[in-house]
């Protein structure tokens, strides 16, 4: 059965065997299996691809306005989507989503979700975000659908020409097939990849023009406001605008692309999964975010006149990273408490400025370390980017590695470490020490750090490109596997890179 693909980037498509395989697999889905009755196969589908990302530097400092450096990985999410706009009035419009595991991946959820379109658009209007969160959380087995169906709500509420989009979507049936090779719980943006692929396909099906930054911001709103996870912007931006084999330099104030930074030919990065599941919605991540914004609020009140009514506007545009480490040390660190109880903070300061998180009055929040981390991290990331331009050699690699080790230690100081990620970083250090014991300057590994939201997930390792670096990474993996009592093959290693979703764009696919 023939498959026709319309794309302005055929040469790019040819270099993406996973996308070709997904498209070819649609033929099998049409003939048999759970997706056989999903689509109106005589009509075109829109296919989109979005990779996961490896957080090389920046991490949780994104929501404080830091510069971040992100690498799109080889693994990606694919979506095939079809919108039927009021064609069959004999049948009620529905939203149907089918999730199938990629080759080698296990299913982690109920495979399908369906609802009447009217449930998401009661009275022809999109659900309010609070109601949408409650709707999807009501059934834990299908809460995953919020990442996908949430794209309909956010596009209708906050996309271009929302009234027109609401009218179209409220009367439409939407069919979505999702297949993702980005593993979940490993801190490589599996959720952002699905959101970006879905939004890219949905916009393509509706003929809505979204530039990459706008699309990424809409996807962040899906995660923040529909799913209810308080992530920053870097994940969605990297999945959308990342370039193969390059670091996306993004200043998160709120989402300013500073270009891409090619890794020098002698430098490579890998991601090693700790096997400890990461969750951006976890309490530790959320508590650290709350503490960070508490620090912003307290620091903003430093110059407030005595007796002034109401909270002052946030200083520095709401971005702590506009403070330098020296300014923090000289002026503001002394006014930040090490920790404060939620009820005491609210009584004294009223608000922490962050609309994405809420303060638990009965919880004690660390403040000084979470507020200090993004300021130092922003400085480290800028230094890291500059160091990539230095003369190649041990001094350059040692500086890059030390900045990563400092970042890792700062995560731990915030309470976002884990035994597995700490051990992987220790194994990298042990590898470096063993090399130095032989009288060499260092290498082939030079640094490592926890990534993303921390509390498990993946460790980013920096080393020398080539066989020696690969062999050293494999030795770390084997040592870690032995300690955990598993086979080395069970430890996921992220290698390589691929383009972001915007570079390929939506594909129009006809099967048969």
Positions marked active-site: 235
Please name the helix (run of DSSP H) or strand (run of DSSP E) that holds residue 200, with its range, or none. helix 190-206
Nearest to 73 by CA among 93, 50, 89, 95: 50
What are the tokens at 225?
A: 């406001």
Residues in the chain: 512
**Distance between CA 391 and CA 399 in Å, rounded?**
12
Task: Answer whether 291's CB lies under 8 Å from 421's CB.
Answer: no
**Distance between CA 100 and CA 32 in Å, rounded?**
14
Backbone angles phi, psi at 275, to 5 degrees: 80, 0
**Distance between CA 442 and CA 74 in Å, rounded?**
29
Task: Answer whether 202's CB lies under 8 Å from 147's CB.
Answer: no
C-alpha angle with apex 85: 190 to 92, nearest 5 degrees? 90
User: In sequence order, what DSSP letters do the residues of 221-263 get, joined into one string?
Assistant: HIIIIII-----SHHHHHHHH--TTEEEEEETTTTEEEEEEEP
Q: Is 500 strand, coil or helix?
A: coil
Classify strands 94-99 and 3-6 as parallel, antiparallel or unpaired. Answer: unpaired
Three-class DSSP labels, 343-410: HHHHHHHCCCCCCCCCCCCCCEEECHHHHHHHHHHHHHHHHHHHHCCCCCCHHHHHHHHHHHHHHHHH
**Distance between CA 46 and CA 74 in Å, rounded?**
21
Backbone angles phi, psi at 87, to 5 degrees: -80, -35
Chain-centroid distance, C-alpha 149: 18
Nearest to 148 by CA among 234, 231, 48, 70: 48
**Distance between CA 201 and CA 211 in Å, rounded?**
13
Classify strands 3-6 and 339-341 as parallel, antiparallel or unpaired. Answer: unpaired
List the end-to-end C-alpha distance of the chain, in Å, as a whole number.
5
């Amino acid at each position: 059965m023939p498959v026709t693909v319309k794309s302005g980037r055929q040469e790019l498509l040819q270099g993406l065997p996973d996308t070709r395989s997904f498209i070819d697999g649609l033929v099998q889905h049409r003939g048999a299996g759970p997706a056989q009755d999903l689509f109106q196969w005589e009509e075109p589908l829109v296919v989109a691809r979005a990779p996961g990302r490896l957080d090389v530097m920046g991490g949780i400092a994104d929501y404080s306005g830091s510069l971040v450096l992100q690498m799109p990985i080889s693994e990606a999410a694919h979506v095939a989507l079809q919108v039927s706009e009021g064609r069959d009035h004999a049948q009620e419009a529905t939203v149907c989503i089918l999730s199938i595991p990629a080759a080698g991946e296990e299913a982690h959820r109920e495979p399908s979700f369906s609802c009447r379109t009217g449930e998401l658009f009661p009275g022809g209007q999109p659900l309010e975000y609070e109601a949408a969160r409650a709707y999807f959380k009501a059934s834990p087995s299908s809460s995953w659908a919020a990442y996908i169906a949430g794209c309909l709500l956010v596009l209708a509420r906050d996309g271009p020409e929302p009234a027109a989009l609401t009218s179209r979507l409220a009367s439409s049936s939407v069919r979505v097939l999702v297949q993702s090779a980005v593993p979940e719980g490993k801190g490589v943006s599996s959720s952002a990849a699905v959101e970006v692929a879905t939004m890219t396909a949905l916009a393509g099906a509706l003929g809505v023009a979204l530039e990459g930054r706008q699309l990424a911001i809409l996807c962040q709103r899906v995660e923040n406001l529909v799913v209810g996870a308080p992530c920053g912007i870097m994940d969605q931006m990297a999945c959308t605008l990342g370039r193969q084999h390059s670091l996306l330099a993004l200043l998160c104030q709120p989402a300013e692309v500073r270009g891409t930074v090619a890794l020098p030919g002698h430098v490579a990065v890998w991601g090693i999964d700790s096997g400890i599941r990461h969750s951006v919605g976890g309490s530790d991540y959320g508590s650290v975010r709350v503490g960070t914004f508490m620090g912003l609020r307290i620091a903003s009140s430093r110059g407030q006149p005595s007796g002034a009514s109401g909270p002052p506007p946030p200083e520095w545009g709401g971005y702590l990273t506009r403070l330098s480490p020296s300014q923090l040390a000289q002026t503001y660190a002394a006014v930040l408490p090490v920790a404060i109880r939620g009820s005491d903070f609210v009584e004294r300061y009223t608000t922490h400025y962050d609309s994405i998180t809420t303060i638990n009055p009965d919880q004690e929040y660390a403040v000084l370390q979470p507020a200090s981390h993004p300021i130092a991290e922003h400085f480290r990331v800028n230094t890291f980017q500059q160091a990539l331009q230095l003369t190649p050699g041990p001094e350059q690699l040692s500086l890059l590695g030390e900045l990563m080790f400092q970042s890792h230690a700062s995560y731990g100081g915030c309470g976002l470490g884990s035994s597995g990620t700490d051990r992987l970083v220790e194994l990298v250090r042990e590898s470096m020490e063993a090399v130095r014991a032989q009288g060499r300057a260092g290498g082939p590994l030079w640094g490592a750090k926890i990534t993303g939201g921390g509390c498990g997930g993946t460790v980013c390792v920096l080393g020398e490109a080539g066989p020696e670096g690969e062999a050293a990474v494999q030795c770390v993996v084997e040592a870690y596997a032995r300690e955990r009592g598993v086979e080395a093959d069970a430890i996921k290693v992220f290698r390589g890179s691929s383009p972001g979703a915007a570079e390929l764009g939506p594909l129009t696919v006809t099967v048969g």
